[in-house]
């Protein structure tokens, strides 16, 4: 009887100490630490899923494009604002033709010269071409002169210059041109296998990382 009373008294004291810890904010701090750890692990799993899903070459490029940030106490946001990344960052990139006149050869049809393995499904980008080490796409429509990106990109010793020594138009006409981009990280993160990985990892890691810290406080 005396022993059971002592044990009961020890448990009661332990409960009082635990209640005091939770009242002084320690539980919230421990929960926040667990939440941050869970977010970091979710970010890693999501980056690996996006890399595989979109066909990126390097995991590091994707992980850098996904952020975690504290929004408020006990709220951590995981997301990305990165759109399509330069096509050089994706697997299976090669040009079937090259040269400064590539865009002129494409003309108004939808054929292209740049092949990539985005989404793990090798394809040729429409109206795409390689020039001076860069990869570009001609968008539908026609402009009066070549866009500035083709005046200044890469080494162009024969490019006309104005009286101030700056690059000038060559007089050629192209459709609107932009750098060739692959899948957007922010869109890949919230769909298909990447989304399933995000949800699965978040639930598991929250239970594990927050739970193990709370269990320490609840030991009587």
Compare 200 and 16 and report the one with higher pLDDT: 200
Q: Do residues 40 and 91 share a domain?
A: no
Same domain flag for 156 and 207: no
Query: Which residue would you say has higher pLDDT here, 3 or 42?
Result: 42
- Co-location of 92 and 178 in the same domain: yes
| Whether residue 71 is found in the same domain as residue 97 | no
What DSSP assignment string belongs to 161-220?
B-TTS-B---S-----EEE-EEEEHHHHTTSHHHHHHHHHHHHHHHHHHHHHHHHHHT--
Q: What is the pLDDT of residue 140?
A: 65
In this structure, the answer to whether residues 109 and 136 fall within a common structural domain is yes
Is pLDDT at 44 greater than 80 in this prediction? Answer: yes
Answer yes or no: do 105 and 177 share one domain.
yes
User: How many structural domains is the chain composed of?
Assistant: 2
Is there a single domain that holds both residue 45 and residue 24?
Answer: yes
In this predicted structure, what is the pLDDT of residue 21?
Answer: 54
Q: What's the pLDDT band for 102 if we cut at 50, 70, 90?
A: low
Return the percentage of the chain with pLDDT > 70, whole number. Answer: 66
% of the chain surpassing 90 pLDDT: 17
Q: Is the pLDDT of residue 69 over 90?
A: no
Q: Which of 40-49, 67-76, 205-214 has the highest mean pLDDT?
A: 40-49
Tokens of 169: 């138009």
Per the structure, the complete domain to which residue 94 belongs is given by 86-183
Q: How confident is the model at residue 172 (pLDDT cuts 50, 70, 90)?
A: low
Length of the chain: 220
Average pLDDT over residues 206-215: 80
| Tokens linked to 77 | 């946001």
* 90/146 same-domain check: yes
CA distances in angstroms from 164 to 80, 87, 148, 161, 167, listed in the order given: 42, 34, 16, 8, 9
């Amino acid at each position: 009887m005396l022993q059971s009373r002592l044990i009961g008294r020890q448990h009661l004291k332990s409960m009082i100490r635990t209640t005091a810890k939770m009242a002084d904010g320690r539980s919230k701090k421990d929960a926040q630490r667990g939440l941050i750890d869970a977010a970091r692990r979710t970010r890693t799993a999501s980056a690996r899923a996006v890399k595989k899903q979109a066909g990126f070459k390097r995991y590091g490029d994707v992980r850098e494009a996904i952020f975690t940030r504290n929004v408020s106490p006990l709220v951590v946001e995981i997301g990305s604002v990165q759109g399509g990344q330069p096509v050089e960052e994706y697997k299976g990139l090669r040009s079937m033709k090259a040269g400064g006149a590539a865009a002129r050869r494409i003309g108004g049809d939808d054929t292209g010269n740049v092949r990539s393995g985005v989404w793990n499904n090798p394809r040729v980008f429409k109206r795409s071409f390689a020039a001076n080490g860069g990869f570009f796409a001609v968008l539908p429509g026609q402009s009066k002169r070549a866009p500035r990106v083709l005046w200044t990109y890469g080494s162009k010793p024969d490019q006309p210059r104005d009286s101030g020594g700056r690059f000038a138009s060559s007089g050629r006409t192209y459709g609107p041109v932009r750098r060739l981009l692959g899948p957007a990280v922010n869109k890949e993160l919230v769909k298909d296998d990447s989304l399933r990985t995000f949800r699965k990892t978040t639930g598991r890691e929250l239970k594990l990382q927050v739970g193990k810290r709370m269990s320490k406080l609840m030991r009587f």
